[in-house]
Structures are given as structure tokens and as C-alpha cells.
């Protein structure tokens, strides 16, 4: 052991895994998953696409035993706050929404806007939507359209956007 004072091997005592997490000042993934599941299960949404997202995240955590990238641990509460505002068809202008939910006009844009936009694209802009049209929308367009319930399953509004953008 004299050579560089390095350990050759280290073994984790699985019976004391909770102590290892405490010693490392970390939260066990099992605890984190249970907290996320409880958070998801205590919420519900009226809009089908948001409710489908919630159910998919519950199923993912139960099957994979880890959070999905569309529901990161550090922003879980924030994502649900924003989805609740969207579900209630309240104001979706970024700064107003950010102040309303977080008391900070830039928090939403800096931290979770990209996640919310990915959720909307996956769960609201369905798979039949032309990829070219999806890419023409800015994040602001998407948030405004969600508020006004203008993005529809039959893509009428998306076709109008295509005509508008091509002019």
C-alpha cells in the first residue's frame, strides 16, 4: 500500500447503502423516484395531451426506475407549475408566465422553456404534423398557440402558418 497510497479496490456494503448516500451527501435514486411518482400522481390535467404526458412519465419511472429527460428531477415542480398554467388556459407570454409561476421574469426562459417546448412538440404537435412546419414555429409561436388552443389535431392552423411563412 506504500506505492502512491492508492487503494487497489473498494467494496460497497449493500446492507448500508443508505449510509453511503448520506455520507456522499446524495439522495438515493429510489427516494427520488418515489418523490417524483408522488408528485405526478397528485396532479391531474384537463387537457388530454398534458394528461398523457403525466401518465407517460409515471409509466417511464415505474418501468425504467429513473426519471425521463422530459421530466428532470431538478425542474419537476417547475414543469408541473407551468403545465398547470397552460392547462388552465392562462397567460403564456414567457415573462408574464415566469413572474406568475416563479416571481422572476427570466427563470422560465433560462431554465425550463426548452423542456416545455419539447413536451408540447411531442404531445401536442402529433406525429402527423409536418416536421417542416414544426421547425418553422419559434418557441414564442408555440407558447402563444398553446394558450389560444389553436394548434389542433387536424392541423388547420399549422397549414395557415405554412402559407403565412411562405409569403
- Select the more confidently predicted residue: 158 or 135: 135
- Report pTM: 0.72
C-alpha cell at 55: 401518465
Segment 61-84 mean pLDDT = 93
Sorting pLDDT into bands at 50, 70 and 90, what band is 165? very low
User: Quick one: which of 78, 68, 73 has its CA closest to 36?
Assistant: 73
Q: What DSSP string runs through 79-113?
A: HHHHHHHHHTT----HHHHHHHHHS-TTHIIIIIH
The CB-side HSE value for 68 (13 A sphere, CA atoms) comes to: 19
Distance of CA 53 to the CA centre of its chain: 9
Question: Coil, strand or helix: which one is 5?
Answer: coil
Amino acid at each position: 500500500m506504500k506505492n502512491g497510497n492508492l487503494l487497489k479496490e473498494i467494496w460497497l456494503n449493500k446492507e448500508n447503502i443508505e449510509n453511503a448516500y448520506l455520507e456522499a451527501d446524495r439522495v438515493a435514486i429510489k427516494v427520488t423516484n418515489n418523490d417524483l411518482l408522488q408528485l405526478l400522481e397528485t396532479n391531474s390535467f384537463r387537457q388530454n395531451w398534458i394528461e398523457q404526458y403525466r401518465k407517460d412519465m409515471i409509466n417511464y419511472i415505474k418501468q425504467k426506475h429513473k426519471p425521463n429527460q422530459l421530466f428532470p428531477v431538478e425542474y419537476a415542480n417547475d414543469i408541473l407549475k407551468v403545465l398547470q398554467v397552460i392547462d388552465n388556459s392562462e397567460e403564456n407570454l414567457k415573462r408574464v408566465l415566469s413572474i406568475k409561476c416563479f416571481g422572476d421574469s427570466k427563470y422560465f426562459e433560462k431554465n425550463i422553456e426548452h423542456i416545455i417546448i419539447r413536451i408540447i412538440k411531442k404531445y401536442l404537435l402529433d406525429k402527423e404534423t409536418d416536421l417542416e412546419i414544426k421547425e418553422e414555429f419559434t418557441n414564442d409561436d408555440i407558447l402563444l398557440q398553446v394558450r389560444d388552443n389553436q394548434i389542433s389535431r387536424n392541423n388547420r392552423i399549422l397549414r395557415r402558418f405554412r402559407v403565412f411563412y411562405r409569403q
